């Protein structure tokens, strides 16, 4: 009797979802570039979400207090190329430990919620006395997302910041604006936002503050000074100031207040 030709058993190739886990989880050999997420975490399939919550964990220490989180490495790498790089390097050196000492634990709390749920809280649902604190936490979250390369969450953070400022009737002061210019690139929309806030504060006729309020920001960042001046120019709507060369010369003389000025007035251009 003739023996039928040998047929090898069918090979079960892993699904696309499981390939994501193979790339991200260090229980497996690294096979190539990580595949980044294309879906909001809340829109993933149950299978994908379950796989993201499997595998090894990553130790993360945040802030001066070194607050500790233990999070799923797969879900961190699913969202962020920055965490992918940290995971790769940590597998060789620090055994998966990540240190974010420059960042704020309050901001990282919001990040964790977004990592696992795909959203952060809405400031509109909070009592008035908590709106500003939450808005400022969203500013800190934005700075953290700049480092982690999370544009989608940055957009949510800046929206909640603006809404929180508006609803609380408060705006950031120089001490809150300074970190934005220290830790974001020149093209950052948050720079545009805070420079326009500062410009509006300076141009407010009811404000008792002058530009010296922002002295520390001006000294630490020339970009801040330039952005504020440009925002004032834009906000002035092209209105031209009075020509200082035509004013009464007494405006530019040194003498005590109320002292009579004997200097002759400048002649007009026509005179």
pLDDT tens track for 107-127: 999 999 999 999 999 999 999
Q: With 50 as the cut, is the pLDDT of residue 212 above it?
A: yes
Give Cβ neighbours of residue 37 (< 8 Å, ≥ 6 apart): 44, 78, 79
Taken in order 240, 216, 184, 126, is the CA torsion positive or negative?
Answer: negative
H helices of 7-127, in order, are 16-24, 46-52, 73-79, 81-92, 105-117
> Could you tell me the pLDDT band of residue 183, with boundaries at 50, 70 and 90?
very high
For the residues 163-170, what does the mean pLDDT come to? 96
Tokens of residue 46, six digits: 């149950």
Please report which helix (H) or strand (E) contains residue 67, including its range.
strand 67-72
Q: How far apart are CA 265 and CA 271, in angstroms?
A: 12
- Look at residue 95 in the predicted model and tell me its pLDDT: 59
- Look at residue 245 in the predicted model and tell me its pLDDT: 80
Q: What percent of the chain has pLDDT over 90?
A: 60
Strand partners for 122: none
- Look at residue 67 in the predicted model and tell me its pLDDT: 97
Angle between helices 128-148 and 151-168 (to 10 degrees): 160
- Look at residue 69 in the predicted model and tell me its pLDDT: 97
Give Cβ neighbours of residue 31 (< 8 Å, ≥ 6 apart): 22, 23
Single out the residue of 111, 106, 46, 120 nearest to residue 76, CA to CA: 111
For the residues 239-247, what does the mean pLDDT come to? 79
Average pLDDT, the chain: 83
Number of helices (H), then strands (E), belonging to the chain: the values are 11, 3
- Look at residue 135 in the predicted model and tell me its pLDDT: 98
- Look at residue 20 in the predicted model and tell me its pLDDT: 44
- Look at residue 43 in the predicted model and tell me its pLDDT: 84
**Structural domain boundaries of the chain?**
15-102
> Could you tell me the pLDDT band of residue 13, with boundaries at 50, 70 and 90?
very low
Q: How far apart are CA 72 and CA 56, in angstroms?
A: 6
For the residues 52-75, what does the mean pLDDT come to? 94
Single out the residue of 16, 34, 36, 17 nearest to residue 26, CA to CA: 34
For the residues 137-146, what does the mean pLDDT come to? 98
Residue with the larger pLDDT of the pair 68 and 2: 68
- Look at residue 63 in the predicted model and tell me its pLDDT: 97
For the residues 253-257, what does the mean pLDDT come to? 78
> Could you tell me the pLDDT band of residue 92, with boundaries at 50, 70 and 90?
low
Give Cβ neighbours of residue 222 (< 8 Å, ≥ 6 apart): none
Q: With 60 as the cut, is the pLDDT of residue 40 above it?
A: yes
């Amino acid at each position: 009797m003739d023996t039928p030709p040998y047929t090898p058993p069918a090979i079960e190739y892993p699904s696309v979802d499981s390939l994501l886990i193979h790339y991200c989880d260090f229980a497996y050999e690294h096979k190539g570039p990580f595949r980044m997420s294309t879906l909001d975490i809340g829109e993933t399939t149950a299978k994908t979400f379950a796989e993201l919550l499997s595998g090894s964990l990553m130790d993360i220490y945040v802030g001066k207090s070194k607050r500790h989180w233990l999070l799923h490495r797969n879900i961190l790498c699913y969202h962020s190329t920055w965490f992918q790089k940290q995971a790769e390097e940590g597998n060789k050196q620090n055994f998966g430990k990540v240190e974010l000492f420059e960042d704020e634990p309050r901001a990282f709390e919001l990040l964790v919620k977004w990592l696992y749920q795909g959203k952060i809280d809405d400031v509109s649902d909070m009592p008035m006395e908590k709106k500003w604190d939450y808005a400022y936490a969203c500013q800190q979250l934005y700075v953290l997302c700049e480092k982690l390369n999370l544009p989608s969450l940055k957009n949510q953070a800046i929206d909640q910041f603006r809404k929180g400022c508006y609803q609380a009737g408060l705006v950031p002061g120089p001490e809150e604006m300074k970190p934005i210019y220290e830790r974001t690139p020149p093209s950052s929309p948050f720079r545009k936002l805070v420079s326009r806030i500062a410009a509006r504060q300076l141009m407010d006729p009811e404000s008792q503050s002058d530009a010296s309020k922002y002295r520390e920001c001006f000294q630490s960042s020339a970009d801040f000074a330039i952005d504020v001046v440009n925002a004032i120019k834009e906000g002035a709507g092209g209105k031209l100031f009075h020509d200082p060369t035509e004013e009464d010369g007494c405006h530019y003389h040194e003498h005590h207040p109320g002292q009579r000025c004997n200097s002759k007035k400048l002649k007009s251009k026509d005179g």
